[in-house]
Every structure is written in structure tokens, then in C-alpha cells.
């Protein structure tokens, strides 16, 4: 229970800071601390992401960082993909889905390291 709250808090900080990580921490948190299976953890994570992204967007918009037109376009274009992804997730077994998710986490980690190492010049510019 306390672990879950800590995971939630950490996921929020990471989401605000890096623009990733709500779900990528919610899902393992729900599996490891609350004992949800992979399908339920993923679905529940999606719902938990909504208020986080909403509040994060509101704050970022006040800092003038949100490109509204592109965000709307991206969001709308993603809907078909999202429906397809959910259908695919529900067609896969929990074990396959879990292993794929673990692989995703490692890929996201690698990409973060890449961004961090490359970000010296790019980070300063913004």
C-alpha cells in the first residue's frame, strides 16, 4: 500500500520531468505491489495516466511549452493505433505481454541514457 503510493508519486515526478514514465512505472508497480496481472495492470495504468497527463499539461502550458496544435493532431491520430494496441494486448497471453513489457522498459532506459548523454548541448538551448 505504501509502496504503491510511493510508486505513484515517483511516476508523477518522472512524468513531469521527462515526459515519459507515468505508465512505465505504474505497470510494474501495480504488478509487483498490488499483485495485478499484466492485463489488468496495463489497463489500470492507462486510467491512472489520464489525470497525471492532464495536470502536467496544464502546468506545462502555463510555462508556454505546449505546442497545442501538434498535441491535438498527435492525440487524434493515435486513437486508431491505441484501439489496435488494446486489442492486440488482449489477444496475447499475460506471460508474453509481461516479457514484452520488460523489454520495453529496457528500451526506454537505453533511450533515456542516449538522450541524457546527447542532451548536453540540446538541453542548454531550450
Q: From residue 41 to residue 80, what is the string marking binding to another protein with x (rule CB under 8 A)?
A: xxxxxxxxxxxxxxxxx-xxx-x-xxxx-xxxxxxxxxxx
| Alpha carbon distance 112, 42 (integer Å) | 22
Q: Does 36 bind another protein (CB under 8 A)?
A: yes
| Alpha carbon distance 61, 39 (integer Å) | 33
Q: Does 94 bind another protein (CB under 8 A)?
A: no
Count interface residues toward another protein (CB under 8 A). Answer: 104
| Alpha carbon distance 18, 71 (integer Å) | 16
Helix (H, G, I), strand (E, B) or coil at 53: helix
Tell me how far, at minimum, the Cβ of 58 lies from another protein, in Å: 9
Tell me how far, at minimum, the Cβ of 93 lies from another protein, in Å: 14
Amino acid at each position: 500500500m505504501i509502496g504503491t503510493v510511493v510508486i505513484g508519486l515517483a511516476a508523477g515526478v518522472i512524468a513531469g520531468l521527462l515526459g515519459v514514465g507515468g505508465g512505465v512505472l505504474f505497470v510494474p508497480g501495480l504488478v509487483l505491489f498490488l499483485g495485478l496481472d499484466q492485463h489488468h495492470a496495463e489497463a489500470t495504468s492507462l486510467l491512472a495516466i489520464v489525470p497525471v497527463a492532464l495536470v502536467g499539461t496544464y502546468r506545462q502550458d502555463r510555462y508556454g511549452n505546449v505546442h497545442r496544435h501538434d498535441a491535438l493532431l498527435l492525440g487524434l491520430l493515435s486513437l486508431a493505433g491505441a484501439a489496435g494496441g488494446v486489442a492486440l494486448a488482449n489477444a496475447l497471453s499475460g506471460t508474453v505481454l509481461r516479457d514484452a513489457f520488460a523489454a520495453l522498459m529496457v528500451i526506454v532506459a537505453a533511450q533515456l541514457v542516449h538522450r541524457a548523454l546527447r542532451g548536453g548541448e540540446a538541453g542548454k538551448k531550450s
